[in-house]
Every structure is written in structure tokens, then in C-alpha cells.
């Protein structure tokens, strides 16, 4: 049966990309209403449905837009709602970007566990495909393949040509605990990207508490000191394993698991729970949302 959250819950914090502080409240919603965002700072009519045709941007996050207003960085929250079995919810937000929190879906997972879920009287409407959908990007070599299946399963591989990361694989299906195996996995960034991202105003709300930083090559102490000043934290160092020493990994393949977290969130934009076999290689928000849109187009074609 369909489910919504057992009670409203709220979280707040700064957005990763805009740096703006925002507060959001996830509220129970009626059957068959799906996931909707409301920009409360604009008004109660400023609602955006979380579906692929509303995607307006995929530069390091997923953005949805309705007319003149948008909601930025929706993927972690959508992933948590999906992994925790929530069909219907309304998310009220007082600014444009969903807060990054610790860079994972953990705060949402913990909140849903605390308030519980409420079973509704309508059966869940699974999104199924009757043919193979494959989106391939020749330039990047990224691919998302969606095949008909009797149950949902997701397999993903990342390859950044990185000596630190190597090639990592991740798997998820409903028998795997989303909360403990996927939802706690944090976003990541390469050390050499950080300066460029700051310069281009792409991570105004970034800090070393909400991202794994991969240091591919040894760096000078002056560079690490500069990063410490950017983030306003004590001196940082490169660990022997090639990561910044600000945190410890939850899993050896935490970065692949975070990409799985993103994939689950982006594919929720099909408009429900996708019942299909999903295979992704070197995926990101652009190809994920293109795949979700292809599924939506198939549904429209059927109807």
C-alpha cells in the first residue's frame, strides 16, 4: 500500500551551491499526490511536482522549476523518501535550495525513522517499463540502462580514472537496508576541483563536514593551509589512503554508494517507485534525469 510520513518533521541548514540558509518541513500528503515541493517563501501556490519534465538544471545537483521559481539540490531528499518507502509527501521550503546537511541522506532517514510511516488505503502505483531504455553519453562514456523486471534492482559503477578511488561498484534493491547501506553515504569532491568550484560560486555552502575530499596527488602544505582558511577549519592533511583527514569513510566504496544514493533520488523523478532493473556506469545527474524523462515519455506514449 502507499505510505506517507507518520508526522511532519523539519530540518534546516545551508545549501551547498547557494550557501543560503533554508528550512524545510516534510508533511504527510494524500494518496496518489506523489512528492511535491512548495516554496513557502513565495506562496502556497508555488508548488513544483517532482517529475522529470520539471528538471531545469543538472550542474552538480538536480534542480526543478515551475515558471519563475525553482528548487535546487533535491536529489538527497528524494532518495531518502524513496529508500524509506514514502509515496506521498509535501515539502515546504523557505528558500530555493534544499540544505546539504552532512552531505548524505542520513538526517532525513533518521527523521523518517523517528516519525514513522503511515499506511494509506490505496495500492502503490509502481512505474514499470515494457522495453529497454538506454541513455548513453558518447563524450563521457556514461550510461543508464533500464530494463523490464519483476522487482527493482540497481547496479552502478564509478570510474573517475582515479588512483585513490579506483573502480567502485554498488548495488541496491529493496532487500538491502537503504538507511544503513546507502543513505549514510556522503557526497565527494576532488581536491583539485575545490578552488575552481569556489571561484565559480558553485559550492558557496561547502565545508569539510559535508563532503569527502579526494586528494589524488600529494599537495604542498601551503595548499592545505589555503583550504583550511577557505573552510575556516584547523589545519588539514592528506591521509595515506589519499583522502583529506577531515573524516573517516563509512565504507571502502562510499563514493560509489553515494552515486547510488543520487541515482535513486534522480530516478524518483519518474513519478513513483521504479520497478525495473537499472544498470548505471559513470552516471551523474544529467544522464540520470534524462533516463527518468525517457521513462516518463514512455508512460505518456502508453497512455
Q: Which residues are catalytic?
A: 285
Cross-strand pairs, 169: 157
Strand pairing class (273-281; 142-148)? antiparallel
Rounded to 5°, angle at Cα 107 from 184 and 168: 20
Inter-helix orientation angle 221-231/191-199, to 10°: 50
What does the alpha-carbon distance between residue 162 and residue 298 come to, in Å, rounded to a whole number?
Answer: 36
H helix or E strand, kind and range, residue 289: helix 285-302
**CB-based contacts of 42-47 (< 8 A; 24+ apart in sequence):** 42/69
What does the alpha-carbon distance between residue 152 and residue 172 come to, in Å, rounded to a whole number?
Answer: 9
Question: Residue length, the chain?
Answer: 303
What does the alpha-carbon distance between residue 170 and residue 17 come to, in Å, rounded to a whole number?
Answer: 26
Cross-strand pairs, 47: 38
Amino acid at each position: 500500500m502507499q505510505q506517507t510520513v507518520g508526522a511532519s518533521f523539519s530540518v534546516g541548514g545551508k545549501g551547498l551551491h547557494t550557501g543560503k540558509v533554508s528550512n524545510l518541513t516534510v508533511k504527510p500528503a494524500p494518496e496518489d499526490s506523489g512528492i511535491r515541493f512548495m516554496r513557502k517563501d513565495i506562496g502556497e501556490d508555488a508548488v513544483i511536482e517532482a517529475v522529470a519534465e520539471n528538471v531545469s538544471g543538472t550542474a552538480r545537483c538536480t534542480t526543478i522549476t515551475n515558471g519563475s521559481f525553482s528548487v535546487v539540490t533535491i536529489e538527497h531528499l528524494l532518495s531518502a523518501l524513496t529508500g524509506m518507502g514514502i509515496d506521498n509527501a509535501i515539502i515546504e521550503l523557505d528558500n530555493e535550495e534544499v540544505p546539504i546537511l552532512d552531505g548524505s541522506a542520513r538526517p532525513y532517514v533518521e527523521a523518517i525513522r523517528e516519525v514513522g510511516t503511515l499506511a494509506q488505503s490505496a495500492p502503490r502505483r509502481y512505474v514499470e517499463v515494457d522495453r529497454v531504455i538506454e541513455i548513453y553519453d558518447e563524450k563521457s562514456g556514461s550510461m543508464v540502462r533500464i530494463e523490464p523486471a519483476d522487482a527493482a534492482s540497481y547496479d552502478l559503477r564509478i570510474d573517475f580514472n582515479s588512483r585513490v578511488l579506483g573502480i567502485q561498484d554498488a548495488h541496491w534493491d529493496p532487500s538491502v537496508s537503504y538507511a544503513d547501506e546507502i543513505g549514510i553515504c556522503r557526497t565527494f569532491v576532488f581536491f583539485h576541483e575545490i578552488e575552481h568550484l569556489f571561484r565559480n560560486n558553485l559550492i558557496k555552502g561547502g565545508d569539510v563536514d559535508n563532503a569527502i575530499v579526494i586528494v589524488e596527488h600529494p599537495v604542498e602544505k601551503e595548499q592545505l593551509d589555503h583550504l583550511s582558511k577557505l573552510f575556516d577549519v584547523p589545519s588539514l592533511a592528506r591521509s595515506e589512503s589519499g583522502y583529506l583527514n577531515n573524516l573517516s569513510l563509512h565504507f571502502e566504496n562510499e563514493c560509489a554508494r553515494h552515486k547510488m544514493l543520487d541515482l535513486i533520488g534522480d530516478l524518483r523523478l519518474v513519478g513513483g517507485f521504479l520497478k525495473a532493473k537499472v544498470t548505471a556506469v559513470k552516471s551523474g545527474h544529467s544522464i540520470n534525469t534524462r533516463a527518468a524523462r525517457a521513462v516518463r515519455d514512455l508512460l505518456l506514449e502508453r497512455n
